């Protein structure tokens, strides 16, 4: 299969910021993008050649969308796999609906990871209170009960600290299929983003460290401040996952580094990822360019970085209100996604600060690094 020629159109299912930044990268490579989204004036639509305004299950709209594009990708996992099957019968869809299905279901995901030889937290599927009792006897406390599907940013999960927590957690999360995971006592959370091309060639960005606030990504530090061997282990795991999936496209593997230095996989996101936004400013080819290149059948350059970086998400009204200060602070690279309303918990944009390679500040320098005026307001979470 040959590379997509310049001026061809890439269809993106989903209209959020990941689609927006993918479309901007596609434009630089001479492609047009056409977005499928139910949302009017979506962030991705604002920077794309066209939009099909529709839900993801509307067969007529899906056929119309496919007719307007040469190849199709998606920018978030909560799209309909059946809709993607229909699209795949009409145009190449990269990554494939099979990859989407695995990432949409925590049981399928963890089964795949374990079968591929990638360690995860111990886990058991749960559909009834009796199964939960049996699972907790096997895995012990503490443990985390999660819905198998449609969870994000900490939604659809409950921490189980002791027997008193079981009934309420089950009540809140059922009747959806659930999974019980053993609690991982992690020292830090990391991720690796890897692209895999049509020819099976891969490019992996350096392992990064992620810090969350209220279950939402707050900061990414590139590179992760972990031993070189641990970072290499994480990268090897991500490559193994991309290869095992036969991925054509890009994925993020989210992982934990345990207190005793082991790397444990948590989640696969088969799309550009928030923990890769730093690559726009710190790498010759960003995660979004890699995504578009892989989807378009272009060669993949090395995923090298010319700088170290800290990426800070701008979430909700308070952080978005800092925009004028951010613009006035030298050294901050600002990104805004074009969302009309800054609702609490909504990712509105991000800011990147670059450092010379090897110059990432120590654990206490990050708030300062984000700029003196913003130091207090943007002070990172401690977790």
- Residues binding ligand AMP (CB under 6 A): 121, 144, 151, 154, 181, 183-184, 189, 212, 266-267
Strand 178-182 with 157-160, pairing = unpaired
Spatial CB neighbours of 211, under 8 Å, sequence gap ≥ 6: 189, 217, 218, 219, 220, 221, 380, 381, 383
Q: Which is nearer to ligand AMP, 139 or 369 (CB)?
A: 139
User: Nearest to ligand AMP by Cβ — which residue?
Assistant: 184
Query: Do 182 and 351 touch, CB atoms closer than 8 A?
Result: no
Region of 7 on the Ramachandran plot (φ > 0 left; ψ -120 to 50 alpha; else beta): left
Of 12, 4, 3, 50, give the one whose Cα is nearest residue 31: 4
- Token pair for 229: 């061997």
Rounded to a whole number of angstroms, the minimum distance from the CB of residue 317 to ligand AMP is: 23
Listed in sequence order, the DSSP H helices in 164-260 are 166-173, 228-245
Q: Name the residue nearer to ligand AMP (CB basis): 166 or 283.
A: 166
Judge whether 348 and 342 are in contact, CB under 8 Å.
Answer: yes
Structure tokens at 274: 């928030």
- Given the complex with ligand AMP, which of 71 and 102 has the nearer CB atom? 102
CB of 242 to ligand AMP, least distance (A): 19
Q: Is the Cβ of residue 266 or residue 320 nearer to ligand AMP in the bound state?
A: 266
Comparison of 212 and 240: residue with beta carbon closer to ligand AMP: 212
| 335 vs 349: CA distance, rounded Å | 5
For residue 226, the SS3 value is coil
CB of residue 173 to ligand AMP, shortest distance in Å:
13
The CB-of-355 to ligand AMP minimum distance in angstroms stands at: 25
Pick the closer one to ligand AMP by CB: 76 or 183. 183
Least separation in angstroms between CB 198 and ligand AMP: 29
Taking the least distance from each CB to ligand AMP, the nearer of 45 and 275 is 275
Number of Cβ atoms within 10 Å of the Cβ of 32: 19
Q: Report d(CA 63, CA 83) in Å as an integer.
A: 10
CB of 36 to ligand AMP, least distance (A): 25
Q: How far is the CB of 212 from ligand AMP (least distance, A)?
A: 6
Distance CA 143, CA 159 (A): 6
| Structure tokens belonging to residue 315 | 């979430």
CA-wise closest residue to 54 among 86, 13, 94: 13
Identify which of residues 267 and 281 has a Cβ nearer to ligand AMP in the complex: 267
Give the nearest distance from C-beta 258 to ligand AMP in angstroms: 10
Measure the CA–CA gap between 369 and 213, rounded to whole angstroms: 18
């Amino acid at each position: 299969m040959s590379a997509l020629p310049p001026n061809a159109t890439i269809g993106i299912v989903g209209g959020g910021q990941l689609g927006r930044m993918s479309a901007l990268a596609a434009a630089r490579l001479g492609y047009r993008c056409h977005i499928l989204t139910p949302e009017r004036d979506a962030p991705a639509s604002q920077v794309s050649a066209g939009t099909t305004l529709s839900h993801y299950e509307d067969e007529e709209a899906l056929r119309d969308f496919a007719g307007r594009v040469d190849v199709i990708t998606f920018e978030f996992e909560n799209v309909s796999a059946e809709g993607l099957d229909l699209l795949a019968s009409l145009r190449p869809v990269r990554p494939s609906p099979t990859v989407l299905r695995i990432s949409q279901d925590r049981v399928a995901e963890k089964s795949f990871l374990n079968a591929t030889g990638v360690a995860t937290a111990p886990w058991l599927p749960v559909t009834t209170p009796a199964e939960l009792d049996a699972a907790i006897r096997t895995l012990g406390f503490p443990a985390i009960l999660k819905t198998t599907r449609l969870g994000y940013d900490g939604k659809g999960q409950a921490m189980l600290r002791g027997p008193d927590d079981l009934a309420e957690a089950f009540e809140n999360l059922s009747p959806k299929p659930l999974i019980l995971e053993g609690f991982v006592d992690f020292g830090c959370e990391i991720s690796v983003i890897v692209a895999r091309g049509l020819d099976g060639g891969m490019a992996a960005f350096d392992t990064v460290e992620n810090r969350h606030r209220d279950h939402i990504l707050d900061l990414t530090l590139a590179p992760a401040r972990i031993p070189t061997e641990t970072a290499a282990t994480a990268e090897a795991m991500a490559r193994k996952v991309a290869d095992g999936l036969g991925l054509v496209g890009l994925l993020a593997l989210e992982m934990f580094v345990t207190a005793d230095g082991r790397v444990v996989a948590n989640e696969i996101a088969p799309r550009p990822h928030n923990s890769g936004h730093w690559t726009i400013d710190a790498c010759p080819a960003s995660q979004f360019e890699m995504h578009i290149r892989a989807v378009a059948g272009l060669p993949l350059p090395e995923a090298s970085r010319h700088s170290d970086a800290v990426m800070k998400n701008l979430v909700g009204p308070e952080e978005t209100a800092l925009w004028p200060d951010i613009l006035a602070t030298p050294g901050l690279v600002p990104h805004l996604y074009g969302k009309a309303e800054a609702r609490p918990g909504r990712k509105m944009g991000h800011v990147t600060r670059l450092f010379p390679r090897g110059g990432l500040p120590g654990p206490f320098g990050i708030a300062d690094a984000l700029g003196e005026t913003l130091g207090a307001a943007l002070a990172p979470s401690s977790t």
